[in-house]
Amino acid sequence: MGVQQNNISANHNSIFKLKRLYLQSVPAGSIAFDGLVPVGKVDWGFQDHLFNTILSKDATAYRPADAYTRRFLKFLIACLESNLAEDEELHDSILTLYSNLMSKPDSPSDATKPTFITYLLPPNQSLSQEDDEKDGEVQVVISERKSVLSADGHTGSRTWEAALALGEFFLFTPSPISKPIPQCRILELGAGTAFTSILLSKLGAKRVLATDGDERVCEAIRRNIDHNYCRNVVSASQLLWGGSQKDSTVYTEPWDLVIGGDITYDTRDLSDLVLTLKKLLVANQDTGAKAIISATVRNEDTLREFDTELSSAGLNFKVQDIGESGRQLWYYGSDTPIRIYTIHWG
């Protein structure tokens, strides 16, 4: 490969990385822009490619919030300007977009409004047949409120770090369970935004049911399913853990895999959660069903209680710590440790 070809490919990779960060609305102040532009060699061609790939109207169906784009552009433009090659100037389309956003007033409700967060999957992921993504770019689009507790007071309106780590676990673990994902019928507990359910549908899962105890969360999941055009595979249904819904069809339908992200944080819910896990794993023992649950380690005592509940219920489990290498793809915002539990009956 010649030097010129190398540069083109390096620029293409940098722009793809910038796109991933922009679409996830990663805080602009924490993006290392300097490492993602050609040092001292920014020309019109690079900026044109960047604009068309990330910022133009056609680049993405679901653009981040205007306030975010404005801040992203502020940092990006400063970086481009300080790295311009000789006799080059800033791209007029980038400057025009920035000045248009500067003149647009924010409405007071903007801070609490849900915004679209797009999680780009690595190139060349196997796609479900119905996927409509262009240019082989696979993505999960989620409408989220980024505040820790959302404006309406529940935790299901943003994608939590444990769900992202669970997504990476399925993307990069060669055989997370004995069946390949495309043969799996998957049930998610406490799905929240259903990020992981939707991601698994993009990896070709046969059937996915995203459940949550809160019906408003389920309604939002149905909208996320529509944003991702995966209604043929993923559906949403209310399911509260514990014994109160004995006749729910989730206990009679066959499942190969039960998943959950960040559902082990409240000690008051742990016995109900474990009861539900046991019912599902016992009902599906013939097919060797497993549960894979990712847990953010905010409090060791809480997880010790989870371990005790699992053991008392006669469930077998192994625990894996997710290190740096298991949280590479997306921005996590915090380095609180995350563990993955693989749980089975018998």
Q: What is the 3-state secondary structure (H, E, C) of the chain?
A: CCHHHHHHHHHHHHHHHHHHHHHCCCCHHHCCHHHHCCCCCECHHHHHHHHHHHHCCCCCCCCCCHHHHHHHHHHHHHHHHHCECCCCCCCHHHHHHHHHHHCCCCCHHHHCCCEEEEEECCCCCCCCCCCCCHHHCCEEEEEECCCCCCCCCCHHHCCCHHHHHHHHHHHHCCCCCCCCHHHCEEEECCCCCCHHHHHHHHCCCCEEEEEECCHHHHHHHHHHHHHCCCCCCEEEEECCCCCCCCCCHHHCCCCCEEEEECCCCCHHHHHHHHHHHHHHHHHCHHHCCEEEEEEECCCHHHHHHHHHHHHHCCEEEEEEEECHHHCCCCCCCCCCCEEEEEEEEC
Which is nearer to ligand SAM, 69 or 224 (by Cβ)? Answer: 224
Q: Which is nearer to ligand SAM, 101 or 144 (CB)?
A: 144
If the CB atoms of residues 53 and 197 are measured against ligand SAM, the closer one turns out to be: 197
Q: Which of 22, 160, 330, 345 binds ligand SAM (CB under 6 A)?
A: 160
Shortest approach of ligand SAM to residue 114 CB, angstroms? Answer: 14
Q: Is 193 in the site for ligand SAM (CB under 6 A)?
A: yes
Q: Does 156 bind ligand SAM (CB under 6 A)?
A: yes
- Length of the chain measured in residues: 346
- Piece in contact with ligand SAM (CB under 6 A), picked from 17-25, 106-114, 148-156, 315-323: 148-156
State the Cα–Cα distance between residues 212 and 192, nearest whole angstrom: 7
Nearer to ligand SAM, 95 or 171 (CB): 171
Q: Which is nearer to ligand SAM, 162 or 200 (CB)?
A: 162
Subset of residues 239 to 258 that bind ligand SAM, contact rule: CB under 6 A: 240-241
Q: How far is the CB of 163 from ligand SAM (least distance, A)?
A: 3
Output the smallest distance, CB 189 to ligand SAM, in A. Answer: 7
Q: How far is the CB of 140 from ligand SAM (least distance, A)?
A: 12
Question: Which of 50, 203, 209, 217 is the binder for ligand SAM (CB under 6 A)?
Answer: 217
**The one segment of 56-64, 90-98, 192-200, 221-229 that binds ligand SAM by CB under 6 A:** 192-200
**Contact between 302 and ligand SAM per CB under 6 A:** no
261 contributes a contact to ligand SAM by CB under 6 A? yes
Contact region with ligand SAM (CB under 6 A), list: 17-25, 136-144, 177-185, 206-214: 206-214
The site map against ligand SAM for 262-281 (x = CB under 6 A) is xx-----x--x---------
